[in-house]
Chains A and B, each alone.
Chain A
């Protein structure tokens, strides 16, 4: 017996909870529309040879959103044996709308009505028997949360799959059925009978994806077009809307017979909560309070403590921790990872028992590089735990609701706020938090701009530059934040006007799911999956990057490739000299600055480390900033500030780049995002440095001219009209359609 069950249903209908119950697999569920973007497959726990595929939550099978396309392609292309359609009993009509589309595919359908306990609690009634009779397929009552009815649903699905009998479909109005009959006859009569209905309806809707797949001849298309036009004329609407309208009419016909609502004007608990949470005056104070709590717990107190514990303790030395550090007495005599390795790798007199290069590779390369990233793990877990709770109870959609107006102005969505806030602690969880934005376009712009926010690792760099050249002025740190926020806003506006982000309009038509008490198992799964994926990356991408940087920094070309023991130039050093040319127009053309910028990709605070070791190599005390000021930046404040700007805005650290790669889920978009960040950083640094130089020296140079051109270009991109503006285009359409009337 080999059966494949496809789970489909609206977002947030309990589909993934059911999937977990059926397969026991580790999977993320959130009280947020659109959590599953890709389909997931698992083997059923109690039955052999039966697999379950969890499709993304969708409202319809239109060709317009990535989730819907994934679900469609699977259902049509791979034809699973049975569709188990999970229906949220608390919003029956909207859920059955998808059901009517699923039933046309020609695959057996079983309906599992979820959340019946809430329906009953509300005093409403669904007559399952009548529904079953009217809609024409098996209907089972379940509670995914409590685990009831799940076996019955699974058995019903298996039985339906074995019978292989597809379900009857409802009929549309006469004019539509007439056109559908013509379409079936003209275009798809040689297709298996049970698949014709779906394609006929799609052709009638002029569904681009389906038409592309069928590859009909021009002759047939124009023949069909006359039938569609006739139906459109008769029903005075476009074909797509006719179908949507009639589906809902059909459903309303059924639900009036089987669904009894107790009291229409009654306020549910969720409504009462919303009265406060999205209240005109209270919404923002509550929001600020919640975000402060998240920030304080994850990035502030708890997070900060864990980062120090991990970075300076576990991957540094517990003995050297500040004695005032919380819990110091408890673990001051613990052994850290580097110390433990030393014990194994060093002989009694302090020389390595293995080759010196290998020792350095392990300690400086791997432990140093991966350790720097692993240090963020506990913080990330705390953060994801809190976010998962907010998500699970349904607060995140309310955040989007209250913030949308503000963020829409610069091409972002109301949901972009959370990634930005988190990124001020660490860009990695910040970028990962953009997951919760279900509009692909908004998600991509958020991922591309989140890295501009100065994270905690950039702060030491800011501090160093401020101390070395600006007498420790606090204005430098303040300006770093303004720079970051400015970069987000400007980039948002520039990006939203580009063709790249104009193709698909992203309507903000979002369900506000009812609040519910957090479910510990869901929250734990969500936290674990997100946190674990970060750890996995630290073990792969970051590990590889650390090793490569170590190799470049420890080997020398001069006189044959060899491991550096003395004062020779490393490969990285040579590369730095070459790259320095690129940075010359920005005012920091020294090789040291170039090398620091490259090593900053491992971790931004590494820049401080590089300058420190360069200082000590030059025989200057690490904390004496005169070397940095005079040798690296030639005593120029402008050069140093330009360097700071570039490093704050350019490509983030490897860990964050890995996060971008994961969230973009495309190599092209990853390269594009990082390329954009670098280009933007370069442009801003160039403008600041060249204009600064012009105003101090009053010499108009080639560089000044270049800066003028770049600035003019940026202003043009920023201020030009949005040719792809959705609203403008729509207003035109509206005029047209009302004018015709």
Chain B
């Protein structure tokens, strides 16, 4: 299983499935990360975490631990 965490900076991935459950998963989905959406990984914060993503036309920051829940292709 490939997760968003493994996606290199500067590349785009398509969401296949979201794992986990409850508030965290809901929050991630509320922010527009749902099945089939394309996510562009813009950069990693200077200390190595969190990530800066581009999704649905806006910038979103997400911790790597949370990115691990997002299965991509």
Interface residues of A (CB under 8 A from B): 59-60, 62, 64-65, 90-94, 97, 238, 240-241, 244-245, 248-249, 261, 274, 278-281, 283-284, 397, 400-402, 404-406, 408, 504-505, 507-514, 726-727, 730, 733-734, 737-738
Contacts and interface: CB of A to CB of B under 8 A. Distances in A.
B32 A94 contact: yes
Contact of B21 (A261, A504, A733): A733
Contacts of B62: 508-509
Contacts of B45: 278, 283, 401-402, 404-405
A508 B50 contact: yes
Nearest to A504: B23
A283 B46 contact: yes
Given A244-B29, A730-B69, 12 more contacts: A93-B57, A249-B34, A274-B59, A278-B52, A280-B46, A284-B46, A405-B50, A505-B24, A511-B58, A727-B65, A730-B24, A737-B20
A402 B19 CA distance: 26
Contacts of A402: 45-47
Contact of B26 (A91, A97, A240, A279): A240
A511 B23 contact: no
A678 B67 CA distance: 39
Contacts of B25: 240-241
A64 B27 contact: yes
Contact of A507 (B1, B34, B63): B63
B19 A734 contact: yes
Interface string B39-73: 00001111111101000111111110110110000
18 contacts: A59-B27, A59-B30, A62-B26, A64-B26, A93-B56, A94-B58, A278-B45, A280-B46, A402-B47, A405-B45, A508-B61, A509-B60, A509-B66, A510-B60, A511-B31, A726-B65, A730-B65, A737-B21
A507 to B, nearest CB: 5
Contacts of B28: 507, 509
A507 B60 contact: no
Contact of A241 (B29, B36, B66): B29
B1 A738 contact: yes
Contacts of A278: 43, 45-46, 52
Given A401-B52, A402-B46, A405-B48, A507 B32 contact: no
A14 to B, nearest CB: 14
Contacts of A244: 26, 29-30, 34
Given A241-B18, A726-B24, A737-B20, A508 B63 contact: yes
Contacts of A245: 29, 34-35
B61 A512 contact: yes
A509 B55 CA distance: 12
Name the prevailing secondary structure of the A interface residues: helix
Contacts of A397: 61
Q: Which 8 A-B pairs have the closest CB atoms?
A: A405-B47, A60-B30, A91-B58, A244-B29, A512-B59, A64-B23, A93-B56, A283-B46
A733 B19 contact: yes
A731 to B, nearest CB: 8
Contacts of A511: 31, 58-61
Contacts of B58: 90-91, 94, 511
Nearest to B18: A241
B50 A401 contact: yes
Contacts of B37: 248
B24 to A, nearest CB: 5
A90 B25 CA distance: 25
Nearest to A62: B26
Nearest to B3: A734
Given A64-B23, A91-B57, A507-B24, A405 B49 contact: yes
Contacts of A512: 52, 59-61
B40 to A, nearest CB: 9
B54 to A, nearest CB: 9
Contacts of A406: 47
A281 B37 CA distance: 31
Contacts of A405: 45, 47-50
B47 to A, nearest CB: 4
Given A90-B58, A283-B46, A512-B52, A730 B34 contact: no
Contacts of A240: 25-26, 29
Contacts of A509: 27-28, 31, 60-62, 66
